[in-house]
Structure 1
Amino acid sequence: MLTLIRGATVYAPTHLGTQDVLIAGDKIIAIEKSINLSTSIAVSEVAAHDCLMIPGLVDSLVHISGGGGEAGFASRTPEMGVADAFLAGITTVVGALGTDDISRSHCDLVAKAKGLQQDGLNAFVHTGSYHVPVRTLGQSIRHDIMFINECIGVGEVAIADHRGSQPSVHELTRIAAEARTAGLLANKRGTVSVHVGAGKSRLAILYEVAKSSDIPLSQFYPTHMNRNSDLLMAGIEFASLGGVIDFTASTTAYDLAHGELAAAEALAYCLQKGVAPNLLTLSSDGHASLPIYDEHNQLVGFEVGSEMALFNALKQAITEFNVPVAEAVRAVTQNPADILGLAKGQLYAGADADLLLLRKDDFVLSDVWCRGNRVMQQTQLLQRGFFAGIGRLS
């Protein structure tokens, strides 16, 4: 089956104008102003003249197997379903453990990623968690990155947070060195995803690692950088030195009222301040526990992260904060793919056929293709995962 999508306004994420896009199998095989076919092979044509086409979203931080909750065992968050991703236009996820690497295991994390792949989603993971010494599935960070196909890095290692292990400069240097070496050996990026809390030390330890070793700042990928204005300013400085920073789309009304910036607002602010567009990303932190702490670090509330927050942040950046479409799209597609070393997040002949159609008039997500399979059609989800179709197995 060939699929020919006609007349979409394409952001690849570079603006390409009105194009026809031809999909064969799981690949894009042509993007041209006008594609005319003469073939006996069945062709499914999709009229998209009233739509924008963008790459499928690359979500760099999702707790796909669920997260530990800071309100006791009952607050362990549920795992993500493939429908949660597709409904949000996410075609690639990177799963991680957070505070809980005891009742949540890397075996379960990798198994969940494999299951999501079976359900048609692109899924990867990080080894490690908030804590140091780093827990892994195999013998070491190097072992996991080299021999587990789905494992692309380590994290999210916590710094500047009372829930972390308060790693030393030496410990964090060793973690980054292992991930970097394993990445070189396995042709992966070996990115170190860094959870940054509200502590006053902010990114200081990352600078100390770079100063005292040969590990570049670009090996680290700090997230939650929109937690407060001081951290955002620290992130702008980090980006000025070539580091990529990530803003979290999932948030709470309480946190927004107490100093957190919406991810879309943080993106717009950084662009206005002259931060290079390729150094800015957004992620959902989907299915994470979102504990709400007061100024004394006392738990006063609790919510759960949502994958849909990523798409909503993209839309908000464009419609409310006037971020140019190409730059907003890049922050949720090509940029996270680049820092993670994934061949995703762009549309070109030969690229994986992960793409979205958004209605031009209201930016509603209309259609989703993942690996060339149409998993959403005119806002209706077609792929809900293995258990949604279990009745057909009998």
Structure 2
Amino acid sequence: MLTLIKNVELFSPAYEGTTDILIAGNQIASIAPNIDVPSSTIVAASGMKIDGTGLIALPGLVDSLVHISGGGGEGGFHTRTPQMALTEASLHGVTTVIGALGTDATTRTLPDLIAKAKGLDIEGISAYCYTGSYHLPARTVTGSITDDILLIDCMIGIGEVAIADHRASEPTYRELAQVAAQSRTGGMLSGKAGIVYIHTGDGNSQLSVLHEVIEKTDIPPSQFYPTHINRNQSLLEAGIKWTRCGGVIDMTTSTNEQFITEGEIPAAEAIAYCINQGVPVTQLSMSSDGNASLPIFDNSAKLTGLEVGRVSSLFAEFKALVLNHNIALQDAIQIVSTTPAHFLKLSQKGKIHKGCDADIVLCEKDNLTIKHVIAKGKCLVSNGEAIVKGTFE
């Protein structure tokens, strides 16, 4: 299949000016002005030509935390959250997702998570996953964290392992270091990230156990990827301290009014604050926590409602970075695409270069409204409408 995008302003994420982009199969074949491919050739290859005049091209978003197979609810069996559908990602510019289990690793299982990732990959986007869940000892498929990462193609690390949370298993620094070492070994042997994706709760211990690991062992801070750092201002300051040690921090874009009232900082606002404090954009990212449960409690801590995290929130906060907080477009792209791709060692993602995967979002320049989304070389969204849907959508 051939796709030719003409006269588009390219952010790769650096600004590259107005150019053409030729896609062949699932990769970017050429980037140059005035690429000439006869229409008959494109038609013969079952391809398409897209007029990019007035549009910008940016790399597809990389969402490092999505509960793609659904998650456990805070109100019992009937509140388990639903699986993610393909268009929940594609319509909002997300072309790569990494799936995880959370609190529920009993009714939500790793084999089901793997199957969902493979299903999404067939339907049109790139999908990976983590072994493990909130709790240690880790749930695995093979009986070994190292073996899961080494032998299961879509598994790139372990997560989301919970710390500073009343639902966590309260891991010690030794236990967390052992998990990190096993994950690191699996990553090294397989050429994957072997990352430990960390769920950070609102407990007083914050990121202290991560500091213990890097102070008392040889595990580097780059082995950990803590998220939910925008829960409150105190945790955000702790996250900035973590970046001073060389670590990366991630903000969660799915939220609700109660969370904000209780002190959570909207993800784009938290990112803007970090940048103003001198944190490099290469150490900042955002993820949606899509399809996670967002519980609502009354003053007596009784559950009164339940909302569901949305993958769509990632692009919404990306827009807020640019349009509301005046973050440079190339920096905002870095935060939602290039940084997570680099940190997760997805070398073909997060950039628009010759030879990379053809994951491209075309937006209106002034308001960042999505017009077209191409994932793995195939157009999934055209003129804002999903032209490819999930099997049961």
2:303 aligned with 1:261: no
Quote the offset at 1:9 in angstroms.
1.1
Q: Distance in 1 between matches of 2:58 and 2:302?
A: 42
Out of 168, 172, 177, the residue aligned to residue 181 of structure 2 is: 177
Q: Distance in 2 between matches of 1:297 and 1:128?
A: 29
Q: Deviations over 1:253-312 (max 9, x none)?
A: 111122111111111111111101100000000000112457886645421100000010
Q: Distance in 2 between matches of 1:52 and 1:371?
A: 18
Quote the offset at 1:33 in angstroms.
2.7
Quote the offset at 1:387 in angstroms.
2.6
Residues 276, 107 of structure 1: alpha-carbon distance in 2 compared, 3 angstrom cutoff: same
Instruction: Please provide the CA RMSD for this pair.
Output: 1.4
Q: Distance in 2 between matches of 1:39 and 1:257?
A: 55
Question: What's 2:82 paired with?
Answer: 78
Residue 41 of structure 2: SS of its match in structure 1?
A: coil
2:351 aligned with 1:352: no
Q: With the length of structure 1 as denominator, give the TM-score of the two structures.
A: 0.96
Residue 218 of structure 1: SS of its match in structure 2?
A: helix
Regions of 4+ moved over 3 Å: 37-40, 292-301
Residue 131 of structure 1: SS of its match in structure 2?
A: coil
2:38 aligned with 1:34: no
Residues 221, 293 of structure 1: alpha-carbon distance in 2 compared, 3 angstrom cutoff: farther
Q: Deviations over 1:222-241 (max 9, x none)?
A: 00000100011111111111
2:20 aligned with 1:20: yes
Quote the offset at 1:34 in angstroms.
2.6
Q: How many residue pairs align between the two structures? A: 388
2:342 aligned with 1:365: no
Q: Distance in 1 between matches of 2:35 and 2:118?
A: 36
Q: Distance in 1 between matches of 2:298 and 2:286?
A: 25
The one-letter code of the counterpart of 2:213 is V
Quote the offset at 1:12 in angstroms.
0.7
Quote the offset at 1:364 in angstroms.
0.8
Residue 202 of structure 1: SS of its match in structure 2?
A: coil
Q: Distance in 1 between matches of 2:9 and 2:370?
A: 14
Question: What's 1:277 paired with?
Answer: 281
Residues 299, 387 of structure 1: alpha-carbon distance in 2 compared, 3 angstrom cutoff: closer
Quote the offset at 1:120 in angstroms.
1.2
Question: What's 1:142 paired with?
Answer: 146
Q: Distance in 2 between matches of 1:179 and 1:165?
A: 18
Residue 258 of structure 2: SS of its match in structure 1?
A: helix
Question: What's 2:93 paired with?
Answer: 89
The one-letter code of the counterpart of 1:9 is E
2:387 aligned with 1:382: yes
How many percent of aligned residue pairs carry the same amino acid?
47
Q: Deviations over 1:174-226 (max 9, x none)?
A: 10000001100111110000000000100000010111111011100000000
Residue 278 of structure 1: SS of its match in structure 2?
A: helix
2:239 aligned with 1:235: yes
Question: What's 2:342 paired with?
Answer: 338
Question: What's 2:332 paired with?
Answer: 328
Out of 294, 305, 309, the residue aligned to residue 309 of structure 2 is: 305
- After TM superposition, the structure 1 stretch with the greater mean CA deviation from structure 2, 279-288 or 34-43, is 34-43
After superposition, where does 1:34-183 map in structure 2 within 5 Å? 34-37=34-37, 41-42=41-42, 44-183=48-187
- The unaligned stretches of length 5 or more in structure 1 are 389-394
Residues 199, 269 of structure 1: alpha-carbon distance in 2 compared, 3 angstrom cutoff: same
Assess if the C-alpha contact under 8 Å between 2:156 and 2:194 holds in 1.
Answer: yes
Quote the offset at 1:46 in angstroms.
1.1
Q: Distance in 2 between matches of 1:294 and 1:285?
A: 23
Residue 81 of structure 2: SS of its match in structure 1?
A: coil
Q: Distance in 2 between matches of 1:155 and 1:293?
A: 26
Question: What's 2:226 paired with?
Answer: 222
Residue 392 of structure 2: SS of its match in structure 1?
A: helix
Question: What's 1:6 paired with?
Answer: 6
Assess if the C-alpha contact under 8 Å between 2:42 and 2:49 holds in 1.
Answer: no
Quote the offset at 1:36 in angstroms.
2.7
Residue 61 of structure 1: SS of its match in structure 2?
A: strand
Residue 355 of structure 2: SS of its match in structure 1?
A: coil
2:213 aligned with 1:213: no
Question: What's 1:287 paired with?
Answer: 291
Residues 81, 197 of structure 1: alpha-carbon distance in 2 compared, 3 angstrom cutoff: same
- The unaligned stretches of length 5 or more in structure 2 are none
Q: Distance in 1 between matches of 2:278 and 2:31?
A: 32
Q: Distance in 1 between matches of 2:328 and 2:200?
A: 28
Quote the offset at 1:376 in angstroms.
0.4
Residue 225 of structure 1: SS of its match in structure 2?
A: coil
Q: Deviations over 1:104-147 (max 9, x none)?
A: 10010001111111111100000000001111111210111000
